[in-house]
Amino acid sequence: MAQQAFGQKKRTVSREEAELESSVDRAYDQIREMVTRFRLKPDERLNETELSKQLGLSRTPLREALNRLSMEGFLNAKSGKGFFCRTLDPQEIYELYQLRAALECGGVRIAAELGDPAEIEKLLTFLKQTADIEGASTSTLVGYDERFHEEIMKLTGNREMLKTLRNINDRIRCVRWIDMDRRGRKSTQNEHLEIAQSLKKKDIERCVAILQKHIARRLEEITSSIREAYGLLYMPKNVRSEHPF
């Protein structure tokens, strides 16, 4: 049946199905974290037997989680060879930055129109509280950066837009880490403050203009950042102990 008939009762999910779904979600969250934090290296083949033991899961929920991560761009599935951690491809990340710019500029227009003024004030308070974090790690600073952009998207009330932004953020995080090291917190913080103040004033065009400049990256910049990221990834841990890679 292509569509559930009007008035038909929703099928009851069995206990076994609920447990399987919970296991899939747990495996998905854990492996996604391993990928985005580079516990699994780019192009590395995933050993499903070892992962199954490590996560304490059977192969069925593990395989479902791996397929889901493959569809979302975190893994590559190769026929007859299994699953591999994605390559850090400059063109792909460049296209993700283009998508991010289009998504966030569209989102800020909706946020300016529909956003709760009280929530915008909370956003300004958040910026003040995180303005001067002495000695904070790059990972912490990037986390604050991502939260700022996601809080703006929450103002739209559109869960699908927020979900898409989070997917993009996870897939471009390596470049954002390098960016933070290069540009520093002060530069991004000033731009965030301008965006939030313009949002409060409902100055949509100003918001969009600043966001576009804030997000935009040239392919050459991304290529350089990825080259640096690969260098850090394969550097001895005792040398890169302060870096999120």
Q: 38: domain CATH number?
A: 1.10.10.10
Distance (Å, whole) CA 41 – CA 88: 10
pLDDT band at 136 (very low <50, low <70, confident <90, very high): confident
CB 63 within 8 A of CB 121: no
Same structural domain for residues 56 and 131? no
List 75's β-bridge partners, or say none.
85
Q: Which residue matches tokens 């997000």?
A: 215
Q: What is the pLDDT of residues 8-47, one digit of tens each?
A: 555 666 777 777 778 899 999 999 999 998 889 999 999 9
Same structural domain for residues 113 and 228? yes
How high is the pLDDT of residue 9?
Answer: 56
User: Is 240 part of any domain?
Assistant: no
The DSSP string of the chain is --SPPTTPPPPPPPHHHHHHHHHHHHHHHHHHHHHHTTSS-TTPBP-HHHHHHHHT--HHHHHHHHHHHHHTTSEEEETTTEEEEPP--HHHHHHHHHHHHHHHHHHHHHHHHH--HHHHHHHHHHHHHTS--TT--HHHHHHHHHHHHHHHHHTTT-HHHHHHHHHHHHHHHHHHHHHHHHH-HHHHHHHHHHHHHHHHTT-HHHHHHHHHHHH---HHHHHHHHHHHHHHHTS-TTTSTTS--
Q: What is the pLDDT of residues 150-189, one digit of tens each?
A: 999 999 999 999 999 999 999 999 899 898 888 777 888 9
How high is the pLDDT of residue 65?
Answer: 95
Same structural domain for residues 156 and 133? yes
User: Is 3 part of any domain?
Assistant: no
Number of domains in the chain: 2
pTM: 0.84
Choosing from 28, 53, 85, the residue where a domain stops is: 85
Is pLDDT of 207 > 80?
A: yes
User: Amino acid identity of 89?
Assistant: D
- Averaged confidence pLDDT in the chain: 88
User: Is 61 part of any domain?
Assistant: yes
pLDDT band at 2 (very low <50, low <70, confident <90, very high): very low
Compute the average pLDDT of residues 178-204.
Answer: 90
Q: How far is CA 173 from the centre of its chain?
A: 7
* Domain limits for position 52: 16-85
Radius of gyration, alpha carbons of the chain: 20
Q: 121: domain CATH number?
A: 1.20.120.530
Is pLDDT of 213 > 80?
A: yes
Is pLDDT of 6 > 90?
A: no
Choosing from 65, 85, 105, the residue where a domain stops is: 85
Number of Cβ within a 10 Å radius of residue 81:
9
Is pLDDT of 211 > 80?
A: yes
User: Is 79 part of any domain?
Assistant: yes
Same structural domain for residues 44 and 151? no
Same structural domain for residues 140 and 198? yes
Choosing from 61, 85, 109, the residue where a domain stops is: 85
Number of Cβ within a 10 Å radius of residue 237:
8
pLDDT band at 1 (very low <50, low <70, confident <90, very high): very low
Is pLDDT of 88 > 60?
A: yes
Same structural domain for residues 147 and 79? no
Same structural domain for residues 72 and 26? yes
pLDDT band at 236 (very low <50, low <70, confident <90, very high): low
How high is the pLDDT of residue 25?
Answer: 92
